[in-house]
Amino acid sequence: TTLEIVEHGIICVSNGIIRSIQRMGEDYSESDSTLPPSAFLQKLGHDNNNAQQLTIRIIPKNHFLFPGLIDTHIHASQYPNLGIFGKTTLLEWLNKYTFPLEASLTDPAKAKRVYRQCVQRSLRNGTTTAAYYATQSARSTNILTDVLIDLGQRGFVGRCAMDSDLQPKWYRDESPKAAKDDTSACVGYCKEADQSGRVRGIITPRFAPSCSRDTLSNLGRLLADGEQDGLLCQTHISENKNEVELVKQLFPECSSYAHVYDVHNLLTPRTVLAHAIHLTEDEIALIKSRECGVSHCPTSNMALGSGSLWVRHLLDEGVKVGLGTDVSGGYDVNVLEAARMACLVSRGVAEGGKGERSKISVEEALWLATRGGAEVLGLGGKVGGLEVGMVWDVILVGADEVPVDQDGEEAEKMLNGVHHDHDGKQTKIGGKVDFFGWETWEEKLAKWLFSGDDRNIRAVWVGGELVCRK
């Protein structure tokens, strides 16, 4: 509920880990910062023997560092369909738009193109960790793994297991055995391809209606086998009322949607459940007792008319919650869009009868987009914040409105408040136009949350490595 702000400070990072955070006024004085760099570092108590390997970066005025954003639910394979959903709701949308597109990614060249564009755009929007769904095809899924490794984003890659008779014949696993073997193969591929553990496989039964009982059980077993490795599982739950009804018909032996997953051992502290809008109190108690995480996807839920999650209630009940873009049910790769939608949807929920306290604040939305997501993905204490011992998964947010989408030289001139006409005449343009200036830091963050976009993200680091710079 509150932001911790360091207005003047020094952060020391080595091997991708935050080693110290020092504040002016507490750890050093303003006059110390005028010392030569080596004397200053010595004064701060840093070992200066490797000074020639030391890089000093000064964060420009009106810029700030923020923890990288975490997208707990995104379908990279659906990226070409952004914004294309018409007035459909979930089940019609899947058949009409989603399955045909995903099936077309068996073409490896197309898969690579789509995944690269999606991951690149996600990084440019400041997402440092994402939990991805690829497609049913193992080959196409492994291409997404390659792309993540190449582009440097931290992430989880899931092959959609889907062998139910309800799936179209042209887009489903052949048998429960094939569903299990292909899932294992994709998890194994990540392990081989990326020993650093930055990119990992994730068990992904698409959702109950697309899986046979055997497949759900098999995947529950794979999940249990992967406990030592911290293997995660992701799926969809209770997104849409017709879907909930369908699950009731398909699994009459189970008392609820959550119960279907529970009897197949798929509800664990390593399970990420997307949507969770229409859960009953009993189901909420069940997922809480199993310590599952919820991925709240408000952009998607509004687009597909799925409903409004009462997120305050889940938080009050102690359920872990993070945010997901759910591309392309969601129309935007930007986690900030999901965060601002979380705020707006919560106001609708409050107005609809749940009361004032249901409103999500700016601070809470930003928490959900970072630390909340980290907890959901089993990365709590590692990423999602700026703290000693945490990994340097960080974004540089730039506040200057003018130069970011200008090309270099023009941007420089405008920054300096001088506009150069084509005939060489120089005109003052009344100083630079600041996106930020007079506000408190809390207000700057609110302004960024509600009206910022990818142009404000000036640099992105994952594990200390600069993976995107503009």
Q: Name the token pair of 153.
A: 């984003």
Kindly write out the interface string for residues 223-242 of this chain, putting x where it contacts ligand GUN by CB under 6 A and - elsewhere: -------------x--x---
Q: Name the token pair of 420.
A: 């150069």
C-alpha–C-alpha distance, residues 35 and 160, integer Å: 57
Which C-beta is closer to ligand GUN: that of 128 or that of 300?
A: 300
C-alpha–C-alpha distance, residues 137 and 204, integer Å: 12
Which C-beta is closer to ligand GUN: that of 300 or that of 346?
A: 300
Which C-beta is closer to Fe ion: that of 326 or that of 337?
A: 326
Is residue 305 within 8 A of residue 86, CB to CB? The reply is: no
Is residue 379 within 8 A of residue 131, CB to CB? The reply is: no
Which residue is closest to ligand GUN by CB? 329
Please report whether residue 136 would count as binding ligand GUN according to CB under 6 A: no
C-alpha–C-alpha distance, residues 140 and 205, integer Å: 16
Q: Which of 129, 140, 300, 334 lies at the binding interface for ligand GUN (CB under 6 A)?
A: 300
Beta-strand relationship, 199-203 and 232-237: parallel
C-alpha–C-alpha distance, residues 230 and 218, integer Å: 18
C-alpha–C-alpha distance, residues 127 and 428, integer Å: 37
C-alpha–C-alpha distance, residues 203 and 180, integer Å: 10
- Total residues interacting with ligand GUN, rule: CB under 6 A: 11
Which range, of 9-17, 93-101, 318-326, 331-339, touches Fe ion by CB under 5 A? 318-326
Which C-beta is closer to Fe ion: that of 10 or that of 70?
A: 70
Please report whether residue 320 would count as binding ligand GUN according to CB under 6 A: no
Shortest Å, Cβ 69 to Fe ion = 18
Q: Which of 154, 172, 206, 296 lies at the binding interface for ligand GUN (CB under 6 A)?
A: 206
DSSP label of 434:
B
Where does 161-297 have alpha helices with state H? 176-193, 213-225, 241-250, 257-263, 281-289
Q: Which of 146, 262, 326, 375 lies at the binding interface for Fe ion (CB under 5 A)?
A: 326
Please report whether residue 159 would count as binding ligand GUN according to CB under 6 A: no
Please report whether residue 75 would count as binding ligand GUN according to CB under 6 A: yes
Terminal C-alpha separation, the chain = 31
C-alpha–C-alpha distance, residues 190 and 202, integer Å: 9
Shortest Å, Cβ 461 to ligand GUN = 30
Please report whether residue 28 would count as binding ligand GUN according to CB under 6 A: no
98 binds, among ligand GUN, Fe ion, none (CB under 5 to 8 A by kind): ligand GUN
- Residues of this chain that interact with ligand GUN (CB under 6 A) are 75, 90, 94, 98, 206-207, 236, 239, 300, 326, 329
- Residues of this chain that interact with Fe ion (CB under 5 A) are 326
